[in-house]
């Protein structure tokens, strides 16, 4: 349901069978949100390469209209500005947007011991007509598990 949207005319949820991952990018022209088409079908390496190309094209001011249409979910990195969290607004045609805060070294209790760890804050804004609080929270919990153990996620993804 995270990768869905609300159809106002039909008054129904539209579940999408593809993921077009929007990446909010600050450019000389202002904020734009191009997306990586069919990102759910890409390997981690392919996704990283597509992200690098997308950001490069955006910074060069060469992002075309087709690159900014059809997004299904967006990620915005508010942490690049030193901000820990934010409440981003959902883009039209999407049901959620994820804000990633600054990554900071913090004291963290791990297995009963305080250790320095890299920590970030994630915030999910979502359309309650499509996603309720439980589903939004479960999505964040799954994402946190991937960030805590990326090696396991990579093995599962390949």
CB 130 within 8 A of CB 5: yes
Structural tokens at position 97: 């947007």
Structural tokens at position 94: 């999407």
Q: What values do phi and psi take at 52, rounded to 5?
A: -60, -45
To the query of whether residue 128 is one of the catalytic residues in this protein, the response is yes
Q: How far is Cα 76 from Cα 86, in angstroms, rounded to an integer?
A: 9
- Write down the catalytic residue from 29, 41, 117, 128: 128
Biggest alpha carbon distance in the chain? 54
Q: What's the Cα-to-Cα distance from 27 to each of 5, 120, 148, rounded to whole Å?
A: 27, 24, 31
Tell me the residue ranges of DSSP E strands in 8-110.
Answer: 12-15, 21-23, 25-27, 30-32, 35-36, 73-77, 96-100, 104-110
Residue positions annotated with a catalytic role: 128
């Amino acid at each position: 349901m995270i990768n869905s949207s609300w159809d106002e005319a039909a008054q129904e949820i539209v579940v999408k069978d593809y993921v077009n991952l929007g990446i909010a990018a600050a450019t000389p022209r202002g904020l734009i949100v191009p997306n990586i088409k069919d990102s759910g079908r890409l390997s981690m390496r392919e996704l990283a390469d597509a992200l690098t190309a997308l950001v490069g094209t955006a910074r060069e001011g060469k992002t075309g209209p087709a690159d900014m249409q059809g997004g299904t979910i967006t990620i915005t990195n508010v942490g690049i500005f030193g901000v820990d969290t934010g409440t981003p607004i959902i883009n039209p045609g999407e049901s959620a947007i994820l804000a990633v805060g600054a990554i900071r070294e913090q004291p963290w209790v791990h297995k009963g011991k305080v250790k320095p760890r890299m920590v970030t804050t994630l915030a999910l804004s979502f359309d309650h007509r499509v996603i309720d609080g439980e589903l939004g929270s479960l999505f964040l919990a799954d994402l946190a598990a991937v960030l805590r153990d990326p090696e396991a996620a990579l093995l599962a993804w390949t």
